[in-house]
Amino acid sequence: MSDTSIIAISGGSGSGKSLFTQTLITEILDSGMNILVLCEDHYYRDQSHMTMDERLKTNYDHPNAFEHELLIEHLLELKAGRSIEYPQYSFTTHTRLAETQTLEPASVIIVEGIMLLASPELLPLFDIKVFIDTPLDICLLRRITRDVQERGRTLQSVTEQYESTVKPMYHQFVAPSRFTADVVVTQGGKNRIALDVLKSHIQQALHREN
């Protein structure tokens, strides 16, 4: 087994996980380091056997919506120095695409997603657990803009899904998972100090490898 560091970045939908992760890796990649990012969203279950009506009824904010078994298998493969076939997911068809992407192992792996810290089977794999703590009303405002502009949703579908699953599941699963985190970050991807602390930890881990 190699000495791979796995960092989990979790928090509600729209909390700023992706922006935080992207800011972090852009700054680290600028210094020429080898780092890999996996999104939990890519591990939403394949629903190609279901009709579109059935897919629209899925609760995408429950831990069971994810194939965490496959995510665990992939993290273990990467830690063992082997490549993986990374699933690709469509928020339009609500299922996996036929193609996958081959990803090579790296010394530091960042995984980001809503249910990472709410899933006890995943926790032992993470060396650092980060929770992006953003008020739910701000998450909702960001989600409306993003889902309409980037995920082909209507304002009505975003508000209905928010009331029926996103908000109740946030309170049931995501918010309590904050207490499993090592680091709780306010102000998301704009929190300069949190970014610098994690960057410094990652750079130390990468230097230990070299």
Ligand X SMILES: Nc1ncnc2c1ncn2[C@@H]1O[C@H](COP(=O)(O)OP(=O)(O)O)[C@@H](O)[C@H]1O
Binding-site residues for ATP: 11-18
25 lies in the site for ligand X, by CB under 6 A: no
Measured distance CA(41)–CA(35) in Å, rounded: 19
Task: Build a one-symbol-per-residue string for 145-174: x at contacts with ligand X by CB under 6 A, - elsewhere.
Answer: -x----------------------------
Residue among 8, 10, 28, 61 that touches ligand L45E5XJ5 (CB under 6 A): 61
16 lies in the site for ligand X, by CB under 6 A: yes
Burial string for 112-145 (b: 16+ CB within 10 Å, else e) reads bbbbbbbbeebeebbebbbbbbbebeebbebbbe
Positions in 83-142 near ligand X (CB under 6 A): 142
Positions in 165-184 near ligand L45E5XJ5 (CB under 6 A): 166
Give the count of beta carbons closer than 10 Å to the beta carbon of residue 192: 10
Residue among 18, 23, 95, 161 that touches ligand X (CB under 6 A): 18
Measured distance CA(9)–CA(75) in Å, rounded: 15
Q: Residue 15 has which token pair?
A: 């909390």
188 lies in the site for ligand X, by CB under 6 A: yes
13 lies in the site for ligand X, by CB under 6 A: yes
Residue among 62, 91, 128, 133 that touches ligand L45E5XJ5 (CB under 6 A): 91
Measured distance CA(98)–CA(117) in Å, rounded: 28
Q: Which residue has the tokens 């989600």?
A: 143
44 lies in the site for ligand X, by CB under 6 A: no
125, 6 Cβ separation under 8 angstroms:
yes
- The helix (H) or strand (E) run that includes residue 103 is strand 95-103
14 lies in the site for ligand X, by CB under 6 A: yes
**Which residues lie near ligand L45E5XJ5 (CB under 6 A)?**
13-14, 41, 44, 60-61, 91, 94, 114, 166
**Which residues lie near ligand X (CB under 6 A)?**
11, 13-19, 142, 146, 187-190
